[in-house]
Structure 1
Amino acid sequence: MHHDDFKFEPVRGLPEALPADEHIIWQGAPRPLQLAKDAWALNWVIGYFVLLAVWRVGVSSTTVPLTEAMGHGVPLLLGGLVAALLLIGMSYVQARSTVYTLTNKRACMRIGAALTMTLNLPYVCIGTAQVGARRNGSGIIAFELIGDTRLSYLMTWPHVRPWYMARTQPAFRSIPDAARVAALFAEAAETRLSEPKVTRLDAEQGAHGAIAAE
């Protein structure tokens, strides 16, 4: 029987139903294999074990025949395979538990495999966004927060811009079609920030409590 770990969510990826004036414009999640490469350095781990195996074969070949020396490198290659599978498995679990959401008012991130939490990032709290896309279209969109908003790098990793620890930048990591998603974000944020703010004048500023738009 299929079991949905997030059945309690009124809207997928969000902790509560959206207000009447808010709607979803995009939802997505990291690509597991790409997340393993980006966050867990999968390619570097594989390369490390391959180099160890080559080194071991080279050392052994000085004392034993090459065919026997090649066998000495097999355990290291098997160790690298196990390590790679573990990293891919962890990335799959993280990707499965993650939902990135863009609405017309905010960016949201439901993250965490063991301890799930949802980050709500209103566009008014985002100063700039940086996008990095690869040839295959996947990439990262990192959000630079303004004001007093602070996030823990360790609590939100790997859904952050790498190495930005002093001012943690939450990020959509390893998403497909990153450039298109960035364009959707830019359009929604610009529209949201250009909306007039409506305030009520007091008696000294205007007669009869008139309403003014800033």
Structure 2
Amino acid sequence: MSGHDEHEPVWGLPSAPPPGEEILWQGRPDWKRFAVSALKIRWVALYLGVVVVAKIAFGLNRGEALEGLGQMLALFGLCLGFVAWLAWLHARATVYTITNRRVVMRVGVAINLACNLPFEQLAAADLALRDEDDGDIALRIKPPARVRRFIFWPHLKGGHFLSPRPALKAIREPERVARLLADAVSRWAEANDAIEVTRAAGEPSEAPAEPRPELTSLPRGATS
């Protein structure tokens, strides 16, 4: 893929993967779909359209000339252009990476950060499809780990203000990526179960095993 930062040893990662870690998938949002799903450009356009219609209606009702309508339309066009430009910037600066041990999200425009989400911190993943080539994968994080909204925004699943969920937004082939993530987490969990069994051979374990991360699929057309 293009867009490699010369300061990165590996595209999208803050450092080269340690021995035994393998990059399974890398991608970034489609900026047009990102504008719709993450920055809600359609809702912005709808709001601005309502304002324009209201101004026209009030002007006609009062018999007044529609002075300033052209300037208002130009301003609203600039607003929509700014949202689209912001979506393009975010998509260009973003790299999502899935390895056999973690998910890494390189996000941020003004300040670009690589956020590591090890598999042991994942409780589950939710797949939301808009169509076959557009969807999100939201990650549920186990407590006490916390997600800082101001770092991950707008790469978040909507509607979870108290417990933000990082999300791989507007990615292509979301079902394939979700299956890849589920398989990687499953293999990681099995390998770690084997390690724990080897370490505790012959010793009774009183602590219940932690539940493995699960992948759930939301209905097609669901948004986040």
Q: What is the one-letter code of the residue matched to 2:170? A: S
Q: In the alignment, which residue of structure 1 is the partner of 2:41?
A: 42
SS in 1 for 2:26: strand
Give the Cα–Cα distance (whole angstroms) in 1 for the partners of residues 200 and 69 of structure 2. 78
- The correspondence of residues 53-72 of structure 1 with structure 2, limited to 5 A, is 53-64=52-63, 69=66
TM, length-normalised to structure 2: 0.80
SS in 1 for 2:133: coil
Q: In the alignment, which residue of structure 2 is the partner of 1:143?
A: 139
- Higher radius of gyration, 1 or 2: 1
Contact 1:54 1:73 in 2 (8 A): no
Contact 2:4 2:11 in 1 (8 A): no
- The correspondence of residues 51-200 of structure 1 with structure 2, limited to 5 A, is 51-64=50-63, 69=66, 73-135=69-131, 137-195=133-191, 196-197=194-195, 199-200=198-199
Q: In the alignment, which residue of structure 2 is the partner of 1:9?
A: 8
SS in 1 for 2:9: coil
Give the Cα–Cα distance (whole angstroms) in 1 for the partners of residues 57 and 164 of structure 2. 44
Q: In the alignment, which residue of structure 1 is the partner of 2:19?
A: 20
Give the Cα–Cα distance (whole angstroms) in 1 for the partners of residues 55 and 71 of structure 2. 10
Q: What is the one-letter code of the residue matched to 1:197? A: I
RMSD across aligned C-alpha pairs, in angstroms?
2.3
Q: Displacement of 1:200 after TM fit? A: 4.7
Q: What is the one-letter code of the residue matched to 2:108? A: G
TM, length-normalised to structure 1: 0.83
Give identity over the alignment, percent: 29
Larger displacement relative to structure 2 (80-89 or 44-53): 44-53
C-alpha change, 1:197 and 1:179, in structure 2 (3 Å) is: same
Contact 1:105 1:122 in 2 (8 A): yes
Q: Which has the higher contact order (CA 8 A, sep 6+)?
A: 2
Contact 1:45 1:80 in 2 (8 A): no
Q: What is the one-letter code of the residue matched to 2:22? A: H
Task: Write the deviation string for residues 56-76 of structure 1: whole angstroms up to 9, x where unpaired.
Answer: 2222223559xx64x754333
Contact 2:23 2:98 in 1 (8 A): yes
